[in-house]
């Protein structure tokens, strides 16, 4: 037995030496880099174009928080110096027509899936290697024939049942327009839980140092992949339920559908719907980039509270409004935003409720309606003391509320004020909140996308480079 072990050891040693020699010889044969450490060759050149409808916000540092008197003396927006990396931001709030593209995509994906049962052309069941895809992918090149006899029978369940129709109108049942999406909880993956040691069942497959103490370690990353299903259709009834004894039924009937309101900001969208839109927008772009062989870019997302305020200021430190201040009118006496001026004279600023986006002048970054029109969701959870403990580097505070959590943990920060708010809420430093499952007629949103690098080149003659 001992001799066999010695022989086995010698055989293993000889094999290891041979492998090492082969490795050395094969490495020495590649003389294109003269044996120097030059990195991987033939990497593609990278240039990040500005996303359509977005503007570039340069990296910088600013004084975040109250820059004027704190009228209600709420002490939840004390001054704090914050530094942020560069990012892109939508120049306007997401409009009805832009959000409708998302809604129609969800509608059509459901139709393609249903029609795939009678016509396999609507689905892609194999990849380019002939391997089965499960679930199958949607073949967007195949057109949907909504009026075909066979198709109408197959898609009948997508419409309202007859007893719910009126005036014989055949309308879609938007309650079924649900979007299934996934997101990765990076904070949970990075967290070190010192107070709750892993159980023996959890540690069986852990392949990392135990002091990290993360659930499942790196052996099963699925614990950090979260799934959600959300109905994507806006709450069009928000125009009625937001205001008691107020006639807003025409807005409920027409605001999201009529072409007259295509370029008005979308409302009736809660925080989860806004996040779902951001994830869909990312996947929609990545699908195109994948087809063209291009590299992916950073995700579209809701802005952090600090990003929103930094962008709203437009590079003007300590100014109360996006246009500077201290007044809400220009030198001609015209109001500079859509809000509730004076003693409720809503129309004095040019609009009764929401108005078309980009109606008023932009700030110095080129962003429109950072004050007024509609308030905007941010990605952050609301905590009155956030400024006291949040980091000054890319300040961010998030909390993924569970259904079982109390309402106080479901508050999300909104910024910018709306058409129904007084001028105090137009200030770039004013903080407010709404519950994440609430959709109103005065809250919308816009997206941001973190810039890949340090600073954007301003042109061929600029000294700035992409780094």
One domain, residues 423 and 461: yes
CB atoms within 10 A of CB 107: 19
One domain, residues 348 and 404: yes
Q: 45 lies in a domain?
A: no
β-pair type (178-184, 225-231): antiparallel
d(CA 6, CA 271) in angstroms, rounded, equals 68
Token readout for 137 is: 């992918």
One domain, residues 216 and 312: no
Q: 29 lies in a domain?
A: no
3-state helix/strand/coil string of the chain: CHHHHHHHHHHHHHHHHHHHHHHHHHHHHCCCCCCCCCCCCCCCCCCCCCCCCEEEECCEEEEECCCCCCCCCCCCCCCEEEEECCEEEECCCCEHHHHHHHHHHHHHHHHHHHHCCCCHHHEEEECCCCCEEEEEEECCCCCCCCCCHHHHHHCHHHECCHHHCCCCCCCECHHHCEEEEEEECHHHHHCCCCCCCCCHHHHCCCCCCHHHCCCCCCCCHHHHEEEEEEECCCCCCHHHHCCCCCCCHHHHHHCCCCHHHCCCECCCCCHHHHHHHHHHHHHHHHHHHHHCCCCCCCCEECCCHHHHHHHHHCCCCCCCECCECCCCECCCCCECCECCCCCCCHHHHCCCCCCCCCCCCCCCCCCCCCCECCEEEEEEECCCCHHHHCCCECCCCCCCCCCCCCHHHHEEEEECCCCCCCHHHHCCCCCEEEECCCCCCCEECCCEEECCCCCCCCCCCCCCCCC
Return the closest-CA partner of residue 250 out of 353, 369, 372, 359: 353
| Residue matched to tokens 């990003």 | 307
Q: 50 lies in a domain?
A: no
d(CA 203, CA 210) in angstroms, rounded, equals 9
Report yes or no on whether pTM surpasses 0.75: yes
* CATH value at residue 433: 3.90.1580.10
Q: 460 lies in a domain?
A: yes
d(CA 460, CA 251) in angstroms, rounded, equals 49
3-state helix/strand/coil string of 409-435: HHEEEEECCCCCCCHHHHCCCCCEEEE
Residue range of the domain that includes 129: 96-254+271-283
One domain, residues 260 and 241: no
Are 428 and 308 within 8 A, CB to CB? no
Q: 216 lies in a domain?
A: yes
One domain, residues 66 and 139: no
d(CA 109, CA 115) in angstroms, rounded, equals 10
Count of structural domains, the chain: 2
Per-residue pLDDT tens digits for 308-333: 999 999 999 889 999 998 899 998 88
One domain, residues 194 and 306: no
Predicted confidence pLDDT, tens digits, the chain (467 residues) = 444 554 555 555 455 444 444 444 444 555 678 889 989 888 888 888 899 999 999 999 999 998 766 777 677 888 899 999 999 999 999 999 999 999 999 999 999 999 999 998 999 988 888 888 888 899 999 999 998 899 999 999 999 999 999 888 899 999 999 999 998 888 888 876 544 444 444 444 444 444 455 555 566 788 888 899 999 999 999 999 999 999 999 999 999 999 999 999 999 999 999 999 999 999 999 999 988 888 899 999 999 999 999 999 999 988 999 999 889 999 888 999 999 998 889 999 989 999 999 999 999 999 999 999 999 999 999 999 999 999 999 999 999 998 899 999 999 999 999 999 999 999 999 999 999 999 999 999 999 999 998 887 654 333 334 44
d(CA 326, CA 126) in angstroms, rounded, equals 62
One domain, residues 123 and 164: yes
Per-residue pLDDT tens digits for 220-233: 788 888 899 999 99
Q: 9 lies in a domain?
A: no
Per-residue pLDDT tens digits for 192-203: 654 444 444 444
One domain, residues 83 and 214: no
One domain, residues 337 and 277: no
């Amino acid at each position: 037995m001992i001799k066999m072990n010695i022989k086995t050891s010698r055989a293993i040693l000889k094999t290891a030496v041979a492998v090492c020699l082969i490795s050395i010889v094969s490495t020495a044969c590649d003389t294109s880099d003269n044996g120097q450490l030059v990195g991987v060759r033939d990497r593609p050149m990278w240039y990040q174009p500005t996303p359509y409808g977005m503007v570039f916000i340069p990296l910088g540092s600013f004084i975040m928080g109250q820059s004027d008197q704190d009228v209600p003396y709420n002490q939840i927006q004390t001054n704090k110096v914050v530094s942020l990396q560069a990012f892109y931001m939508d120049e306007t709030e997401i409009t009805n027509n832009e959000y409708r593209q998302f809604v129609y995509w969800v509608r059509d994906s459901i139709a393609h899936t249903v029609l795939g049962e009678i016509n396999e052309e609507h689905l892609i069941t194999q990849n380019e290697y002939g391997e089965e895809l499960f679930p199958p992918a949607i073949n967007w090149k195949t057109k949907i024939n909504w009026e075909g006899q066979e198709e109408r029978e197959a898609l009948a369940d997508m419409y309202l049942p007859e007893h719910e129709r009126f005036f014989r109108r055949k309308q879609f049942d938007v309650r079924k327009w649900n979007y299934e999406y996934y997101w990765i909880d990076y904070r949970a993956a990075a967290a070190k839980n010192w107070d709750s040691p892993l159980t023996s069942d959890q540690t069986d497959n852990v392949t990392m140092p135990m002091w990290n103490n993360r659930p499942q370690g790196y052996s099963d990353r699925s614990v950090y992949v979260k799934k959600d299903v959300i109905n994507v259709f806006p709450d069009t009834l928000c125009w009625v339920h937001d205001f008691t004894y107020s006639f807003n039924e025409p807005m409920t009937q027409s605001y999201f559908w009529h072409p007259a309101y295509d370029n008005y900001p979308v409302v009736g969208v809660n925080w989860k719907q806004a996040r779902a839109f951001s994830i869909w927008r990312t996947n929609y772009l990545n699908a195109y980039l994948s087809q063209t062989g291009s590299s992916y870019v950073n995700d579209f997302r809701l802005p952090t509270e600090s990003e929103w305020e930094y962008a709203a200021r437009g590079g003007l430190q300590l100014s109360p409004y996006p246009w500077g201040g201290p007044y809400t009118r220009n030198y001609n006496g015209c109001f500079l935003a859509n809000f509730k001026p004076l003693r409720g004279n809503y129309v004095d600023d040019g609009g009764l409720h929401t108005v078309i986006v980009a109606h008023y002048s932009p700030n110095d970054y080129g962003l429109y309606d950072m004050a007024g029109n509609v308030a905007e969701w941010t990605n952050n959870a609301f905590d009155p003391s956030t400024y006291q403990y949040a980091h000054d580097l890319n300040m961010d505070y998030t909390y993924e509320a569970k259904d079982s959590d109390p309402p106080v943990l479901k508050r999300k920060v909104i910024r910018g004020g709306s058409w129904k708010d007084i001028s105090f809420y137009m200030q770039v430093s004013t903080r407010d909140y709404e519950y994440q499952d609430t959709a109103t007629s005065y809250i919308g949103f816009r997206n941001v996308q973190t810039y890949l690098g340090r600073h954007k080149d301003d042109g061929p003659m600029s000294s700035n480079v992409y780094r």
